[in-house]
Each structure stands twice: as C-alpha cells, then as structure tokens.
Amino acid sequence: MPTVEASPTPFTFAKNSTALLVIDMQRDFLLPGGFGESLGNDVAQLRRTIEPLTALLAAWRAAGWKVIHTREGHLPDLSDCPPAKLRRGPMIGQAGRFGRVLIRGEYGHDIVDELAPVEGEDVVDKPGKGAFYATDLAKILENDGITSLVVTGVTTEVCVHTTVREANDRGYECLVLADCVGSYFPEFQRVGLQMIAAQGGIFGWVAESSALIEEITR
Ligand code: TIU
C-alpha cells in the first residue's frame, strides 16, 4: 500500500478506498477583487495553494482515483443560511464583483478555472463550514467504500478544520497537505496544521504534496 512521509507518523492508504477532497477553492475566496479580499484579506495566502493542487490533481486523476470538490454557498433566497451566519457575514447574498456573494449559480461561487472539476467528479454544495453538515458527503463516501481522505483547500482553520475534525469523528483517516491548504492568516496556517498532527495525530496526519505525488507516480 502507498505510504507517505507525514507527521506525526507515515500515512498508509489503500488507493481504492481513499478520496481526494478539495474544499471550497472558489473564486469568492481566492480571486483578487472578490469577497475574501474585500474583507481585507490577503488572497495571495490562499492562491499559493493553486499550483501544488493543480499538480496533485493531475497526478491523482491520472491514477484514476476519486476526487470530490466542495463549495460553500447558499440558495438564492438564502433560506438555507441561518440568520446568525448572515448577521456575521453581512456580504453573503449581496452583489459583489463576481455576482451575489456565496450564492449558488453565481460566478464567484464556482471553483477557480485552474481546478475546475472534470466529468465524473462529485461537487458537494454545503451551506456550512464543514463538508458533512446538510450534505450528501457521508453517503457518497459510504457508497464508494471510502475510509481515508486526502484533504486540501481553503481555509485551513475554518472549512478544512471543521471538515477534518468531523471526518475524524466519523472514523475517516485524514491526510492534510500543508502546501495545498491555505489560510488568510499565516499564524493560523502554522498552528492549524500543528493542531491536526499534535498528540499523536489527534485529528489526522500532515504532509507535503510532493511526498504524496512521489507515491502516486512511483
Ligand atoms: N471555506 C471557508 O473556509 N470559508 C470561510 O468562510 N473561511 C474563512 O476563513 N472565512
């Protein structure tokens, strides 16, 4: 079985029971001039994940393994957005440079061109930060016999962490790729990754994508 150099221990996985999860690589979070930047965030901190993730996706697809993308967003009438979320995310549903912010069907809600899903890949729309809440993700994984997840995307301490923590509770083994996850805040990136691998891998494992690509293409 493929084994990847990782922290706190090497990560071993079976290719037919492992999925690559690409979390919320959406224009609203990543594009200059978009929602994320309009909140004062430095999108370069997220955009550095695009290149390694593009390389990883190419290798993963060439191997023929499962890919699942997620997108955070809401129905146009916002009926799936809790008022409490709307109060603290006042731009959600408002007109932004790339359409209504975090609304399904809008240009900004979709995935950046470089990482666009290809035919056969699942795209899971989620109203929350975690990828399991109010989605079919658990069913998709169960149907395909998936037991391990390679987790990538943005942002490290928000949607990636929420998803990894819940996946861990649900019994999935998660490998988080340090260079393929990004936070607007370098400190959160550093500590967020430390938290995952701490205490013997309390939530999972952390590795660099190069180590995984080496195994895939071996
Ligand atoms: N996808 C995701 O992480 N959603 C966020 O709102 N992240 C922030 O860091 N704000």
Percent of the chain that is helix, strand, coil (3-state, to 5): 40, 25, 35
Residue 81 annotated to the active site:
no
Q: Each residue of 98-113: pLDDT tens digit? A: 999 999 999 999 999 9
Question: How far, in Å, from the CA of 147 to the mean position of ligand 1?
Answer: 25
Average pLDDT for 203-209: 99
Burial bucket for residue 214 (CB in 10 Å: 0-12, 13-18, 19+): middle
pLDDT of residue 127: 98
pTM over 0.75: yes
Q: Do the Cβ atoms of 104 and 127 come closer than 8 Å?
A: no
pLDDT of residue 190: 98
Instruction: Tell me the C-alpha distance between 50 and 181, whole Å.
Output: 9
pLDDT > 70: percent of the chain: 100
Average pLDDT for 162-188: 98
Q: Each residue of 43-89: pLDDT tens digit? A: 999 999 999 999 999 999 999 999 999 999 999 999 999 999 999 98
Q: What residue ranges in 46-133 does DSSP mark as E strands? A: 66-72, 95-96, 99-100, 122-126
Residue 159 annotated to the active site:
yes
- Identify any residues that bridge with 174 across adjacent strands, giving them in sequence order: 149
Question: How far, in Å, from the CA of 202 to the mean position of ligand 1?
Answer: 22
Q: Return the structure tokens found at 191.
A: 């500590």
- Report the CATH number at residue 170: 3.40.50.850
For β-strands 3-4 and 122-126, DSSP reports them as unpaired
Burial bucket for residue 88 (CB in 10 Å: 0-12, 13-18, 19+): exposed
Number of domains in the chain: 1
pLDDT of residue 89: 86
Which one of 27, 92, 154 would you pick to mutate in the ligand 1 pocket, going by the greatest count of ligand atoms within 8 A of its CB?
154
Flag whether pLDDT at 177 surpasses 90. Answer: yes
Structural domain of residue 173, as residue ranges? 3-216
Which of the four pLDDT bands, split at 50, 70 and 90, describes residue 93?
A: very high
Residue nearest atom 4 of ligand 1, based on CA coordinates: 159
Active-site choice (110, 129, 159, 180): 159
pLDDT of residue 90: 80
Q: Which helix (H) or strand (E) holds 213?
A: helix 209-216
Q: Name every protein residue with a CB atom under 6 angstroms from any ligand 1 atom.
A: 24, 72, 129, 154-155, 158-159
pLDDT of residue 218: 87
Q: Each residue of 114-147: pLDDT tens digit? A: 999 999 999 999 999 999 999 999 999 999 999 9
Q: Each residue of 5-41: pLDDT tens digit? A: 999 999 999 999 999 999 999 999 999 999 999 999 9
Q: Do the Cβ atoms of 130 and 140 come closer than 8 Å?
A: no
Instruction: Tell me the C-alpha distance between 74 and 103, whole Å.
Output: 5
